[in-house]
Amino acid sequence: MIHRSLFSRCFLPSLRLPSSSSKLGGGCHGDAFRAISSMPEPCRSSPISDGDSCDFDWDSLGFGLMPTDYMYIMKCAINESFERGQISRYGNIELSPSAGVLNYGQGLFEGLKAYRKDDGGVLLFRPHENALRMRAGADRMCMPSPTVEQFVDAVKQTTIANRRWVPPPGKGSLYIRPLLIGTGPILGLAPSPEYTFLVFASPVRNYFKEGSAPLNLYVENEFDRASRGGTGGVKSISNYAPVLKAITRAKSRGFSDVLYLDSVNKRDVEEVSSCNIFIVKGNVISTPATHGTILPGVTRKSIIDIARDRGYEVEERAINVEEVLDAREVFCTGTAVGVAPVGSITCMDRRIEYQTGAETTCQELYSTLVGIQTGTIEDKMGWTVEIC
């Protein structure tokens, strides 16, 4: 929950998005976005001081939107390239009722995090991977996309501008949400004539209400998350609203989330609503292969590499639901959830419980990942980017 005094400081005026015709100069410059105030000074690589962190009860932090100070915006017309964006005050945006994103769902989003180190510095985790995934998604959705360099630079600028919202070590992280949406007006079914790339951020802690407690999943037999030839393998905004029905129903029955099966045979597991899934049997860790219906998660990719580095055999393949029910351990991975243990899975009327706790493979991989993300374990992979 946002404290009233904190919300008052963070609620800022609306920002109107001008059309491409109102931009200054040629190309797709973002100069038309006038910053309400200048960007803060670059932060110092020193322990947190009163100027570097908000006066906020970080122990009360959950996973909900807490408006921060600044966002990044860059615009582009169709068949052109993004060129330059700008940091502006966080606020509402104005869209035409006929905007492509509102009428046809032409949009993508990403999610990544910034972590506060013990010495006060701030680390980003694998932003280049998110940039590459957005570009792949943009190609699928017929949208122009920022280059990898533009994407990473925008994330860096947004994080630096909102550095006081990066929680202290062990108290959470700054969740960064890049968006690529069709904002130009369109009536017939066609690509939008104009696009906006926007990055905002919010401090967060645990995604699930259970916190770090094991999850209880329900195998969904009625609704599908994705189908062959669809957009399940990219982070399209249109992938998420359709799962709300299944999630709401599952949570009303006391479950944490839903585990989806393939849409053709209803036999192989695919993923949970917002995260990938892994099973553990002995020294073998298995996860469903990404063949177009499963999102290739950045955390998923990282856990696979960490597990192999620690001597585990990792398989990416089709996994029958019966194999999942016979596993020793099950866990989920994702930017929002991190690495979350699964305590039980219910399939029809059958409930299976799994090993959880301190001595599990899940905990071993989680501790290693978090150590790299927060700088307490040496990053031999070259995954982190220190920005301030």
Using DSSP's 3-state secondary structure scheme, residue 68 falls into coil
Spatial separation of the C-alpha atoms in residues 133 and 138, rounded to whole Å:
9
Instruction: Write phi, then psi, for 112 (nearest 5 degrees).
Output: -150, 170
Tokens 């992979």 -> residue? 381
Spatial separation of the C-alpha atoms in residues 33 and 90, rounded to whole Å:
12
What's the pLDDT at 44?
39
* Amino acid (1-letter code) at residue 62: G
Q: Which residues pair with 279 in a beta bridge?
A: 286, 330
What's the pLDDT at 210?
63
Tokens 């600028």 -> residue? 157
Give me the residues of the chain with pLDDT under 50, please: 1-50
Please count the residues of the chain.
388
Spatial separation of the C-alpha atoms in residues 126 and 278, rounded to whole Å:
21
Could you say which DSSP state residue 15 is in?
B
- Which residues are designated catalytic? 235
Spatial separation of the C-alpha atoms in residues 287 and 221, rounded to whole Å:
20
- Please check whether residue 43 is in contact with residue 163, taking contact to mean a CB–CB distance below 8 angstroms: yes
Residue whose C-alpha is closest to residue 181's, from 196, 200, 199: 196
Could you say which DSSP state residue 288 is in?
-
Residue whose C-alpha is closest to residue 351's, from 274, 226, 253, 247: 253
What's the pLDDT at 26?
34
Q: Which residues pair with 82 in a beta bridge?
A: none
Could you say which DSSP state residue 64 is in?
S
Spatial separation of the C-alpha atoms in residues 91 and 69, rounded to whole Å:
9
| In the chain, domain spans | 70-204, 215-374
What's the pLDDT at 51?
52
- Angle, CA 72 vertex, CA 201 and CA 186 arms, to 5°: 105
What's the pLDDT at 41?
40
Spatial separation of the C-alpha atoms in residues 263 and 334, rounded to whole Å:
22
Tokens 């029910």 -> residue? 325
What's the pLDDT at 57?
86
What's the pLDDT at 206?
79
Residue whose C-alpha is closest to residue 309's, from 385, 375, 383: 383
pTM: predicted TM-score of the whole model, two decimal places? 0.86
What's the pLDDT at 368?
97
* Amino acid (1-letter code) at residue 342: V
Residue whose C-alpha is closest to residue 343's, from 264, 255, 282, 271: 255
